[in-house]
Amino acid sequence: MERPPRRVVSLVPSLTEAIALSTPDLLAGATDYCTHPPGLDVPRVGGSKYPSVDRVLALAPDLVVANAEENRREDVEALRAAGVAVWVTYPRTLDEALASLARLLAALGAPDPPWLGETRAAWARPAPAPPRRAVVPVWRRPWVVLGRDTFAGDVLRRLGVHNLYDDAPDRYPRPPLAEILARDPEVVVLPDEPYAFTTDDGPEAFPGVPCVLVSGRHLTWYGPSLVEARAVLESQLRV
């Protein structure tokens, strides 16, 4: 870019929160799913997976931020073809996420905001040992679980949870329920997003196995939510 951006549209909820808290004057638009910080008042451009490219362009951004998993390649390409710079993130570990956030915020003129240092401090402690064997469904009908090289998997590893599908060839395998149970997990971790698992929807599929409902925002978002994510998830994982 020839100059620092002055109007930014975010297609990623966690990055929307990071930008809104660090450089609020730059945020020109966000998706319908950008719920934080509470009370965020900016124009909306549709969903993260299916934003309206026309609505994004109508906001005249000089930068759009996106994520390789949450957003579609065709939308990124359409925005770039229209002459808009698009910053695409793809962190698969906590360290990668913090480095990516630091680069983005530095480019936006907000290097190392206080919450970023607080996040590093919160996650500095080593993981407890021994780790607990777990499966982590993120969808059902069909079942989809966390596999290898995922940000959420690394977060859980740092909390003393070993993902039994960490050796899978896919990042999000779709095993049948019988195979999941055959892996003999000590605990099943059920986040409330992207699928909204609840006490009545999810645990009944794993009779005899402890199930833990956790905050999907704290497990999968990389941004200011990470400051409190360790304490929140550690509390929820105690079974």
- Please, which pLDDT band fits residue 83 given cuts at 50, 70 and 90? very high
Four-residue CA torsion sign, 122, 138, 100, 54? negative
Average pLDDT value for residue range 188-198: 96
Average pLDDT value for residue range 85-96: 96
Question: Cβ–Cβ contacts within 10 Å for residue 210, how many?
Answer: 14
Of 67, 26, 60, the closest CA to residue 45 belongs to 60
Rounded to an integer, what distance in angstroms lies between the CA atom of residue 45 and that of residue 102? Answer: 25
User: Per-residue pLDDT for 170 more than 70?
Assistant: yes
User: Per-residue pLDDT for 129 more than 90?
Assistant: no
HSE (side-chain half, CA atoms, 13 Å) at 231: 7
- The CATH number of the structural domain formed by 8-90 is 3.40.50.1980
Class of domain 132-236: alpha beta
Structure confidence at residue 211 (pLDDT): 97
User: Per-residue pLDDT for 74 more than 80?
Assistant: yes
Average pLDDT value for residue range 159-166: 96
The label of the residue with tokens 């680069």 reads 103
The label of the residue with tokens 């009545």 reads 200
Average pLDDT value for residue range 6-18: 97
Q: Tens digit of pLDDT for each residue in 217-233?
A: 999 999 999 999 999 99
Q: What percent of the chain has pLDDT over 90?
A: 93
Per CATH, 8-90 and 132-236 having the same topology is answered yes
Mean pLDDT of the chain: 95
Are 19 and 27 in contact by the 8 Å Cβ rule? The answer is: yes
Q: Tens digit of pLDDT for each residue in 21-72?
A: 999 999 999 999 999 999 999 999 999 889 999 999 999 999 999 999 999 9
Structure confidence at residue 8 (pLDDT): 98
Structure token pair of residue 109:
């003129």
Structure confidence at residue 112 (pLDDT): 87
Give the Å distances, CA to CA, from 202 to 74, 152, 205: 33, 19, 6
Give the Å distances, CA to CA, from 106 to 3, 31, 52, 68: 13, 23, 28, 20
Per residue, the 3-state secondary structure of the chain, as one string, reads CCCCCCCEEECCHHHHHHHHHHCHHHEEEECCCCCCCCCCCCCECECCCCECHHHHHHCCCCEEEEECCCCCHHHHHHHHHCCCCEEEECCCCHHHHHHHHHHHHHHCCCCCCHHHHHHHHHCCCCCCCCCEEEECEEECCCCEECCCCCHHHHHHHCCCEEECCCCCCCCCCCCCHHHHHHCCCCEEEEECCCCCCECCECHHHCCCCCEEEECHHHHHCCCCCHHHHHHHHHHHCCC
Are 29 and 10 in contact by the 8 Å Cβ rule? The answer is: yes
Are 40 and 16 in contact by the 8 Å Cβ rule? The answer is: yes
Rounded to an integer, what distance in angstroms lies between the CA atom of residue 214 and that of residue 237? Answer: 7
User: Per-residue pLDDT for 239 more than 70?
Assistant: no
Domain chopping of the chain, boundaries? 8-90, 132-236
- Please, which pLDDT band fits residue 1 given cuts at 50, 70 and 90? confident
Cα of first residue to Cα of last residue in the chain, in angstroms, is: 50
